[in-house]
A and B are shown apart, each in its own frame.
Chain A
Amino acid sequence: MSRLTDANVALAREIIARYPKKKSALIPLVHLSQEQNGYVTEDAMRHVAELVDVTPAEVYGTASFYEMFRFEPTGKYLINICGTMSCALLGAHELMHHAEHTLGVKAGSTTPDGLITLQHAECQAACTEAPTLQVNYRHRYRVTADDFDHLVDDLRSGKLDSEIPPHGTLGRNRQHIPVDRAVGAVHPDDVTSGPVWLEVSPS
């Protein structure tokens, strides 16, 4: 079942309603499908296309532009090791070499048990804490070879389950705009006048 579940369709509609044009919800909805399925499936893209009223080719065209979307089964944990300058200056290549050795797979592949996918990554905005990596986009700083091995042990033992949700889940919480507080999205062409607070300033 890789179309969105009923619960996720409800969530999708809540997200779509926040945008003046439906297509703006495309990327958040593809995230949602990846959260549900662990990766982005063709059926899910078709479903997202229906929901935001575009063609599946448009969904694929947009989604395939972005690196976080994976189109094949991915480990429960995606480990991205940064290799850009600051991390490279402080041993990122060596860390990757070690990681490949520890996991027994090359960068770009998944461990045979399907638990961990290892990847090269670019700058993760933690340059002062080099070398860094991310597990499902949660940072680990100044990672030594030992740190890496401990991390893998902890992932395997489930010790980090509460801290690091499975691949695809972006946040452990979500924004919810309360109905009674929401201003609501209006199609841009249907707005003809300026905001009221510009007209009359409060006394």
Chain B
Amino acid sequence: MGTQSPYPWAPGFYPGDRPQVVTSRFQYEDAHTIERYHATGGYEGFRKALTMAPADVADEVKKSTLLGRGGAGFPAGTKWGFTPQGVWPRYLVVNGDESEPGTYKDRLLMECDPHQLIEGCLIACYAAGLSRCFLYIRGEMALAQERVAAALNDAYAAGYIGTDILGTNFSVDIVLHWGAGAYVVGEETALIESLEGERGMPRLKPPYFPAAIGLYGKPTIVNNVETLSNLPFIALNGSAAYTAIGTETSPGTRMIAVSGHVKRPGVYEIVNGSTTFRDLLFGDEFAQGMREGRELKCFVPGGGSAPWFLADQLDIPFEGRAAGSAGSMLGSGAVMVMDDTTDIPAAALTLVKFYAHESCGKCVPCREGGTWLYRIVERIVAGDGTDADLETILQVGQSICPGNMPHASSERLGLEAVPFPYKMTTICFVGPSAYVPIHSAMTLFPEEFESRITKREVRRLIPVSAAAAAGGGS
């Protein structure tokens, strides 16, 4: 550790020798200013789009097969096409509420290159006929708020936003909206509720698919920050230039954060589809392997909600289908790595606690089940668990996710993989996400739970990682 990004203004970012679609300006400390943006080709993609018919721009985006970066991985251009014919107005809502554990990239994009995001919004609005844009930024990101606010003010002044933009008949307002702290608002229907001034509780799909019934009940496109940040490149260089990067099913690049017990935790813009987890965790361009003298125990491949992988899965490419059949998902582009010092039940507890805490309370399995799971796991970690507790965890889990639960294969345990996804009794994925980590932990490291119960260890301070726990624990 101790390694720092070459660009201190972009903490954790390492460029490497790879194509840069969305991070090309991170090298400049003043990338967030309109001057630097202009000097580096900024708003050229938008200007080019304005010379094309909106439908042609939309078509170009569709041909790029740009996949949504929020977690679901749905093609953005296709999503735009789901708005019902003849229903107006249509809105663009930008999901800048990044808060999935392990995920760190949208914040960088907003802090370092806000104009790129704004340009992406303008292109989307123009192409899909979206007449008002709301840029919903997570409340706890003060710097991102400031940078985006300043960029919006400059872009309005420069004539990129507002009425009759650049002398055309294209007019749109982009409104910066402050979130106020609720993980679940990252779910698109909850985001819409929040934007309407309500409690951020997810709506049910069906019937509330935002493209049909979204903000104020009107067709609404909800796109993630990173997704939109790709649009200036696609508009300027064309879809062919974009699909030339990455694989057929996963074109372009995507941003990945690797954190935890690695030598060089960082944020990397990777070529989509072809990079393996082994590259990410051990490659010199990436995380550079485990901390000195330590070995990989397991890792969370796609944000806190994803089932865990073992060393057995290192050679799987960072690609949605491959991860899915191996028993997990890629989610929001976040890998959290645990080495052999990790206390597995305690590590799982941090995530169970997170999702229990972040339950919105709307549906029963999540509201009651999440907290129940948290209480049991907390007791087990404290050394007060019973054998019945382990069974109860599985039964409560079944009430949240009935049927087979996805998990990775393990040669050590002789386990076959159960592919993603799970079934769920909840409205959204927050409830299942409280069960996923404890299920992964218990499935892949059963002995750590059994020993916890038979030993009845009781410790005041619970160190998650023995190596990091300077002052206490085993």
Q: Do chains A and B touch in the complex (CB under 8 A)?
A: yes
> Which chain A residue has the least Cβ–Cβ distance from B107?
A125
Encode contact with A along B38-79: 1 for CB under 8 Å, 0 otherwise.
000000000000111110000000000000000000000000
Residues from chain A with Cβ under 8 Å of B198 in the complex? 23, 62
A136 is an interface residue with CB less than 8 A from chain B: yes
- With a cutoff of 8 Å between Cβ atoms, the chain A residues found around residue B11 in the complex are 126, 128-129, 139, 141
Determine whether the beta carbon of A181 is less than 8 Å from that of B139. no
The answer on a CB contact under 8 Å between A125 and B173 is: no
The answer to whether A123 touches B102 (Cβ under 8 A) is yes
Q: Given the complex, which residues of A lie within 8 Å of B36, measured CB to CB? A: none
| With contact pairs A25-B197, A197-B169 given, residues A93 and B462 touching in the complex (Cβ less than 8 Å) | yes
| Complex contact B88–A191 (CB within 8 A) | yes
Minimum Cβ distance to chain A for residue B24 (Å): 20
| Interface residue? A52 (CB, 8 A) | yes
- Interchain CA distance A128-B286 in the complex, whole Å: 12
The proximity string for A residues 188-203 relative to B, scoring 1 for CB distances below 8 Å and 0 otherwise, is: 1001111111101110
Query: Which residues of chain A are near B171, meaning CB under 8 Å?
Result: 183, 195-197
Q: B453 at the A/B interface (Cβ < 8 Å)? A: no
Size range of the chain B interface in the assembly: 35 or more
Residue of A nearest to B160 (CB): A181
Q: Among A25, A54, A172, which residue has the most Cβ atoms of chain B within 10 A? A: A172
> Distance (Å) between the CB of B334 and the closest chain A CB?
7
Chain A residues closer than 8 Å to B373, beta-carbon distance: none
In the complex, chain B residues 78-115 whose Cβ is within 8 Å of any chain A Cβ: 86, 88-89, 98-104, 106-107
Which A residues are in CB contact (< 8 Å) with B408?
none
Given A67-B181, A93-B463, is A84 in contact with B360 using a C-beta cutoff of 8 Å? Answer: no
Asked whether any CB of chain A lies closer than 8 Å to the CB of B9, the reply is no
Q: Are A94 and B173 in contact (CB under 8 A)?
A: no
**Scoring A residues 76 to 89 as 1 if CB is less than 8 Å from chain B, else 0, what string do you get?**
00001001111011
Could you tell me if A127 and B181 are in contact, using CB atoms closer than 8 angstroms?
no
Please, which residues of chain B bring their CB within 8 A of the CB of A174? 149
Residues of B within 8 A of A141 (CB): 11-12
Within 8 A of A (CB), among B117-135: 126, 129-132
CB of A105 closer than 8 Å to a CB of B: no
The stretch from B236-244, B256-264, B414-422 touching chain A is B256-264
How would you classify the secondary structure of chain A's contact residues: helix, strand, loop or mixed? loop
Which chain A residue lies CB-closest to B465?
A: A89
A66 to chain B, nearest CB (A): 3
A80→B50 CA distance, assembly (Å)? 44
B178, B195, B265 — most chain A CB neighbours (10 Å): B178
Q: Is the CB of A19 closer than 8 A to any CB of chain B?
A: yes
- Decide yes or no whether B138 CB sits under 8 A from chain A: yes
> How close is A95's CB to chain B, nearest CB, in angstroms?
10
Taking CB atoms and an 8 Å cut-off, the chain B residues in 140-197 that contact chain A are 140-143, 145-146, 148-150, 152-153, 156-157, 159, 161-163, 168-173, 175-183, 194-197
Pair B101/A198 contact, Cβ less than 8 Å? no
Please state if B126 and A197 are interface contacts (CB–CB under 8 Å).
yes
Choose, from A3-11, A26-34, A109-117, A146-154, the stretch at the interface: A26-34
The verdict on B470 contacting chain A, using a C-beta distance below 8 Å, is yes
Q: Would B175 and A195 count as touching, CB distance under 8 A?
A: no
Beta-carbon contacts under 8 Å, B344-402 to A:
346-347, 350-351, 353-354, 357-358, 360
In the complex, are the beta carbons of B265 and A130 less than 8 A apart?
Answer: yes
Contacts of B267 in A (CB 8 A): 128
When the two chains form their complex, are residues B182 and A201 in contact, meaning their CB atoms are under 8 A apart?
no
The CA-CA distance from A200 to B168 in the complex, in Å, is 10
Q: Which of A68, A97, A201 has the most CB of B within 10 A?
A: A201
Residue of B nearest to A29 (CB): B197
A13 at the interface (CB under 8 A from B): no
Knowing A31-B178, A197-B54 are in contact, say whether A178-B162 is a contact too (CB < 8 A). Answer: yes
In whole angstroms, what is the CA distance A148 to B177 when docked? 31
A159 to chain B, nearest CB (A): 18
Interface pairs A-B: 8 shortest CB-CB: A181-B162, A26-B197, A66-B180, A23-B197, A67-B181, A128-B12, A127-B259, A68-B181
Chain B contacts to A: CB under 8 angstroms: 1, 11-12, 50-54, 86, 88-89, 98-104, 106-107, 126, 129-132, 138-143, 145-146, 148-150, 152-153, 156-157, 159, 161-163, 168-173, 175-183, 194-201, 215-218, 257-261, 265-267, 300, 304, 334, 336, 338, 342, 346-347, 350-351, 353-354, 357-358, 360, 461-465, 468-472
With A85-B354, A172-B146, A198-B54 given, name 16 new contacts (CB 8 A): A21-B196, A23-B198, A54-B197, A68-B180, A85-B260, A85-B351, A89-B468, A93-B461, A123-B101, A123-B103, A137-B140, A138-B142, A174-B149, A175-B175, A177-B156, A181-B157
User: Which A residues are within 8 Å of any B CB, using their own CB?
Assistant: 18-28, 30-31, 52, 54, 61-63, 65-69, 80, 83-86, 88-94, 97, 122-130, 134, 136-139, 141-142, 170-178, 181-186, 188, 191-198, 200-202
12 contacts between A and B (CB under 8 A): A85-B336, A88-B346, A122-B357, A125-B138, A127-B259, A142-B1, A171-B149, A173-B150, A191-B131, A194-B129, A195-B88, A198-B54
